[in-house]
Amino acid sequence: MIAVARIPSLKRSMPSSGPPRPPLTDSPWFWVYLFATFALLTLFVMRPRVLERQAQIERKEQGRKRAIEQISGQTPQTPLSTPENTQITLAPLFLIMGLVWLVAAFMVWRRLRRPHTGAPLPSDQDPYMP
C-alpha cells in the first residue's frame, strides 16, 4: 500500500473568521515608499545633468560678479563653479528622500509583519496609521 503524506492546508494557517487582510496597495505608506524609491533613483540617474546645469547657472552669476569687479578696477577673486564643485549641492535632497524612504520602508515592513487578527476595526480608525 502507498502511504500518502498529509500536506497542511493553507486554509488552516489563515484565520477563518473576519474579513480578509486589505491589499498592501491600500496603505498610504506603500505609496510613500514607492514615491521615495523612484525619487532616489531619479536623483541618482539625473545627478550629472542637474549638477552640470547648476554649475552653468552659478558660472553666469559668478561672471556677473567678475564683470562688476573688473569695472571697479579689482582683480576678480571669484572662482568659477564646476559640476564637481558647486555652491548648491544635491546632498539635502538625497538626505531628505533617504529619510522618507527609510521611514516608509519601516512602516511597510511593520504592516507586513503585523499579524492579521481578522477582527473588524471601528469605522473611525484607520488601519494603516500608527
Q: What is the pLDDT of residue 102?
A: 97
In a domain, 11, yes or no: no
Cell of 64: 556677473
In a domain, 75, yes or no: yes
Q: What is the pLDDT of residue 57?
A: 95
In a domain, 49, yes or no: yes
Total domains in the fold of the chain: 1
Of 109, 127, 118, 129, nearest to 21 by C-alpha is: 118
In a domain, 93, yes or no: yes
Per the structure, the complete domain to which residue 102 belongs is given by 26-110
Q: What is the pLDDT of residue 107?
A: 94
According to DSSP, residue 118 is labeled: -
Q: pLDDT of 33-65, one tens digit each?
A: 999 999 999 999 999 999 999 999 999 999 998
Q: What is the pLDDT of residue 74?
A: 87
In a domain, 2, yes or no: no
Q: What is the pLDDT of residue 59?
A: 94
Spans in the chain with pLDDT lower than 70: 1-19, 116-130
In a domain, 9, yes or no: no
Cell of 36: 521615495
Indicate the pTM of the whole model: 0.67
- Contact call for residues 90 and 45 (beta carbons, < 8 A): no
